[in-house]
Amino acid sequence: MKLRSLSAAFGLLWLGLLGSAQAAQTHVAVAANFTEPARQIAALFRQKTGHEAVLIFGASGAFFTQITHNAPFEVFLSADEERPRMAVERGFAVPESRFTYAIGKLVLWSRVIDVTDGKAALSGGKFSQLSIANPNSAPYGAAAIETMKALGVFDALQGKLVRGNSISQAFQFVDTRNAELGFVALAQLHGVTVGTRWLVPENLHSPIRQDAVLLERGANDEASKAFLAFLKGPEARAIIEAFGYSVE
């Protein structure tokens, strides 16, 4: 009986070591607006597959520049569709691997003034600082500029704009009240009950289609390919929708 028990225990240990040996890591560059959903998806991915998705957060434009300089990422989750497309066209990403994983929504948010009528709040100009993400590197910042131009308030508000390096920093400016209001991603307000908000009508800016792509560094990496497959699946999609994104 003792020999059988030892044999069974050794067998379980061997299976555990084998599973650990097969588990791998993938390094994923993630647009800042997708921080919390990505963390939840990565945790579930590890639970289901044993693989670990190491997440690095930042602005999509900055990531693209790093990717063109051989940054150590295998997967790129951008906040737009343009940069993953350019990554494919320039030979930094795997052709046919690109897909839209989420469609983002832009929100005007404030902790200190009423912005439920966003157009009136912006037109009134009764504030000193309006936070946006850098439109040159962050698609949500570009969408904010488009929105203000569509509303006819951009010229009047240019002097009040405070630009964050990413949508995370734009959010922090409002959250810490260093800016009275700001344009943020709807997903960032998941679970936030303070302040007022205005969901920007989608006809005021170009669609914020967020694309994922497998980079050439991960072309033959099973964990990277598995993560993208998981991102397309129903469990990840449910998390994405729970944070207010649309999915196709």
Domain-located, residue 4: no
Mean pLDDT confidence for 152-168 = 96
**Token pair recorded at residue 57:** 């957060």
Q: Look up the domain containing 192 and give its range.
A: 106-199
Is the domain of 97 the same as that of 27? yes
Is the domain of 38 the same as that of 99? yes
Is the domain of 176 the same as that of 226? no
Is the domain of 112 the same as that of 191? yes
Mean pLDDT confidence for 151-169 = 96
Domain-located, residue 76: yes
Mean pLDDT confidence for 3-17 = 41
Is the domain of 123 the same as that of 195? yes
φ, ψ at 215 (rounded to 5°): -80, 160
Is the domain of 119 the same as that of 49? no
Segments in 96-201 forming alpha helices (H): 118-124, 139-151, 154-157, 167-175
User: What is the pLDDT at residue 3?
Assistant: 42
Quote the mean pLDDT of the chain. 91
Domain-located, residue 192: yes
If one compares 20 and 198, the residue with the highest pLDDT of the two is 198
- Residue 133 · residue 144 · CB < 8 Å: yes
Is the domain of 54 the same as that of 81? yes
Q: What is the pTM of this model?
A: 0.83
Instruction: Give the total number of structural domains in the chain.
Output: 2
Domain-located, residue 247: no
User: What is the pLDDT at residue 22?
Assistant: 65
Query: At 216, is the pLDDT very low, low, confident or very high (cuts 50, 70, 90)?
Result: very high
Query: At 248, is the pLDDT very low, low, confident or very high (cuts 50, 70, 90)?
Result: confident
Q: Which class for 39: exposed (0-12), middle (13-18), buried (19 or more C-beta within 10 A)? A: middle
Is the domain of 96 the same as that of 214? yes
User: Tens digits of per-residue pLDDT, 85-101?
Assistant: 999 999 999 999 999 99
Pairing of strands 106-110, 181-185: antiparallel
Residues sharing a CB contact under 8 Å with residue 141, sequence separation 6 or more, in sequence order: 132, 133, 134, 135, 163, 164, 167, 170, 183
User: What is the pLDDT at residue 2?
Assistant: 43
- Residue 132 · residue 176 · CB < 8 Å: no
pLDDT at 10 over 90: no
User: What is the pLDDT at residue 137?
Assistant: 85
Is the domain of 54 the same as that of 73? yes
User: Tens digits of per-residue pLDDT, 91-131?
Assistant: 999 999 999 999 999 999 999 999 999 999 999 999 999 99
Mean pLDDT confidence for 192-203 = 97
- Residue 183 · residue 131 · CB < 8 Å: yes
Domain-located, residue 248: no
Is the domain of 57 the same as that of 123? no
Is the domain of 95 the same as that of 126? no
Q: Residue 44 and residue 63: Cα distance in Å, rounded?
A: 25
Domain-located, residue 1: no
Q: Residue 157 and residue 123: Cα distance in Å, rounded?
A: 9
Tell me, what CATH number does 44's domain have?
3.40.190.10
